[in-house]
Chain A
Amino acid sequence: MNHSLQIPGNILFDGPMATKGYPLNKMCFSFNQAESRAEFLADEEAYYEKFNLSEAQRQVMRDRDVIAMLETGGSIYYLAKFAGILGLNVQDVGGLQTGMTTEEFKAFLVKQGEV
């Protein structure tokens, strides 16, 4: 596979990204447990410390900036679990990444069937 070819708007999740994102993804993996979700909500900063997130990762989490989470090594599989804590579904997350409202994003999905 040729990793040098970029697909616009696509952040390829490969080995180096998995290395960079490991603490962030490990934290979000913990959100499979209800008690971990509650612990995060009770004290986000302490939870970042517990998983040893980099300062950049803590900031993108504080900012709820999904694209920046991906750029700091986040994998969408685990970020989806974080989104669940915030009550967001994948259309909400799609809107956040593309600058659309959720309704605009849903309309965009429908439009691609009209070909």
Chain B
Amino acid sequence: MAHILGGIATSHIPAIGVAMDKGLEQAPYWKGFFDAYPPVRQWLYAQQPDIAVIFYNDHGLEFFHDRKPTFAIGAADKYENADEGWGIAEIPPVTGETQLSWHIINELIDNDFDITVCQEMKVDHGLTVPLTLMWPGHQYGHIKVIPIAINCERHPMPKPSRCYDLGKAIGEAIRSFSGDQNVVVFGTGGLSHQLDGQRAGFINKPFDLYCMEKIVDEPEVLTKLSNYDLVEKGGSQGVELNMWLAMRGTLQGASQLTELHRSYHLPISNTGAGLQLLATEEAVTN
């Protein structure tokens, strides 16, 4: 069976990618944010995962409103990044994977998650910024990525409880796969932020810290929130917490979780930026 080593939740704000391109990691604005990442990178280097399952939301690169899936998964050998229109540099292609992808797809459909399947899809900053953060210098080619996109843009969007259950089903699928690959799961985006409306700039630090506390041992508390609650408490883009919940769902079958990292930095662009690492008992301990 394949093994889930742990889950990582991280911001995916495009400005992070721009800052890395410009070498600004130690500039005063950015230092506090980037200084949180080395311990998580070191854990990844020690674990040597084969596959990364990445929950993200597409921001209008691959999916427009003509056909916008609620949940979508990639099953391709390679994923291209492309021009998003406002200046983030494109990154080299992301390596894909198909065998575990198809296994997950079969298991999801069997478990009543009728997900959209993409044999070709462009991946945007929601996925590429976390990859670049974890493997700076675009050194991510060895990691086989399975992208899973969740609609966080247009209501109606999947409920927090549903995203968590999707994660649970994916976790069970990974653990039932016949291979012996080591898998790490990413929940990306968040935390609280609002880009649009007179309420633009809204950030809710107490709520963000509450979510990072509850997601460790009591994720069910967060699944009782509605998307309306998330908009109200976390801003219109605060619904990106749903990707964190999907990640957390994949770990639910693990008998013991260890929180190895938690940090929060505000503001990064218009957001409260969180970073969190939860390891399972499958992870190599140093």
Contacts and interface: CB of A to CB of B under 8 A. Distances in A.
Interface of A: 1-3, 5, 7-15, 18, 22, 25-26, 29, 31-34, 37, 67, 70, 75-81, 83-85, 89-91, 93-94, 97-98, 105-106, 108-110, 112-113, 115
B83 A14 contact: no
Contacts of A76: 195-196, 236
Contact of B201 (A8, A26, A75, A94): A94
Interface string B261-281: 000001101101000000000
The interface size bin for chain B is 35 or more
Contacts of A14: 154-156
Interface stretch (B41-49, B211-219, B224-232): B224-232
B248 interface: no
A104 to B, nearest CB: 10
Contact of A108 (B83, B84, B156, B201): B201
Interface string B192-219: 0011111111111110000000000000
Interface SS, B side? loop
Contacts of A90: 15, 195, 269-270
B77 interface: no
Contact of A94 (B156, B195, B232): B195
B117 interface: no
A80 B199 contact: no
Contacts of B156: 1, 14-15
Contacts of B137: none
